[in-house]
Amino acid sequence: MARWKKAVIEEINRISPTTQTFILKIESEDPFTFKAGQFITMDLPIGEKRLDRWRSYSVSSAPSVDNRLELCIVEVENGKASRYLFHEAQVGTELKIKGPGGTFYLPEVLNKPSVFVCTGTGVAPFASMLLELKSRSAFDQPVHLIFGTRTEDGILYRAFFEELAASEPKFTYDICLSRADESWKGHRGYVHEVYEQIYASQADQVNYYLCGWSNMVDQAIDILKNKMQVPTANIFHELYG
């Protein structure tokens, strides 16, 4: 069983009007190892009972040996955890964490094209996966990220995706905005329309990784299984509220 470890906030960066990244340094002589896509759990001083205090967040940085990791967290209206992290925690604040947890990660070798479908901070585990694939030069199969958010200022990791697409021929990405203004030239609407159109003729030849708002993930699973006839073995998912 994973033990609680002390971590210190080393850096806080705002990356959208409602989202910040937190760089944590784990205070341990032992290396903190995880697979890209996994999450950690934090015990926050926001309540008395365990269910009030514990919150899990996917790691958005690649696995490393320096015991540092990045979390990508959105401020939730009336959310006790995000209120603490955004308005009380600061650089130097000590936190208790444990992990890693979860089975939402890639195989060692990509044996099929992969489609990453995400909304909001559900992009976090995919950022970690893409960084890890880049570090290993492991884009053996095409990888297509489809990211959905409401408005253009909510696009997370945009510069990274642009740079990766320019350097890795097998990586592509699409952004879908559900509340785009007139200046937006990309996809309008929801992520489902993109993968339904692009993969209609090869639906069962692709692995689909889903992460984000629970209603998006539920709808995607329904579309993939019942409309596109994708085998269950080709669908992997993680929920974000």
pLDDT of residue 210: 98
User: Which pLDDT does position 126 carry in this prediction?
Assistant: 98
Same domain? For 124 and 230 the reply is: yes
108 located within any domain: no
Residue that is last in its domain, among 101, 132, 151 = 101
| Cα distances (angstroms) measured from residue 29 to each of 23, 65, 206 | 18, 11, 41
Q: Report the number of distinct structural domains present in the chain.
A: 2
Torsion of the alpha carbons at 64, 138, 106 and 145, rounded to the nearest 10 = 100
Give residue 220's pLDDT. 98
Residue 58: C-alpha distances to residues 10, 67, 99, 123 (Å): 18, 15, 10, 9
231 lies in the same domain as 147? yes
Helical (H) or strand (E) element with 23: strand 19-26
DSSP state of 59: B
Q: Which of 78, 101, 124 is the last residue of a domain?
A: 101
Secondary structure (DSSP) of 65-92? SSSEEEEEEEPPTT-HHHHHHHHT--TT
Residues 132 and 235 in one domain: yes
151 three-class SS: coil
pLDDT score recorded for residue 162: 97
The identity of residue 79, as a single letter, is G
Residue 222 CA to residue 213 CA, distance in Å, equals 15
Domain of 37: which CATH number? 2.40.30.10
Query: Do residues 97 and 214 share a domain?
Result: no
Name the residue range of residue 28's domain. 5-101
Last residue of one domain, picked from the residues 70, 101, 132: 101
Residues 60 and 118 in one domain: no
Q: Do 147 and 179 fall into the same domain?
A: yes
Residue 107 is assigned to a structural domain of this protein: no
Distance CA 67, CA 65 (A): 6
Q: How much is the pLDDT for 28?
A: 87
Residue type, 39: F
Query: Distance between CA 82 and CA 79 in Å, rounded?
Result: 6
Going residue by residue through the chain, which has 241 residues, state the pLDDT in tens, using 9 for 90 and above: 578 999 999 999 999 999 999 999 999 888 999 999 999 999 999 999 988 999 999 999 999 889 999 999 999 999 999 999 999 999 999 999 999 999 999 999 999 999 999 999 999 999 999 999 999 999 999 999 999 999 999 999 999 999 999 999 999 999 999 999 999 999 999 999 999 999 999 999 999 999 999 999 999 999 999 999 999 999 999 876 5
What is the C-alpha R_g of the chain?
18
Which pLDDT does position 10 carry in this prediction?
98
In a domain, 45, yes or no: yes
Q: Is residue 134 part of a domain?
A: yes
Cα angle for residues 99, 161, 79 (degrees, 5° grid): 45
Close Cβ partners of 73 (under 8 Å, ≥ 6 residues apart): 19, 20, 21, 22, 57, 82, 85, 86, 121
Indicate if 185 and 73 belong to the same structural domain: no
Whether 223 and 123 map to the same domain: the answer is yes
At 2 the pLDDT is: 72
Which alpha helices (DSSP H) does the chain contain, by range?
50-53, 80-87, 124-135, 158-167, 191-198, 214-222
One domain for residues 31 and 87: yes
Domain shared by 81 and 140, yes or no = no
70 & 121 share domain: no
Give pLDDT, residue 205: 96
State the burial class of residue 200 (Cβ atoms within 10 Å of its Cβ: 0-12, 13-18, 19+): exposed
Check residue 1 and give its pLDDT: 56
Model pLDDT, residue 105:
96
Whether 172 and 226 map to the same domain: the answer is yes
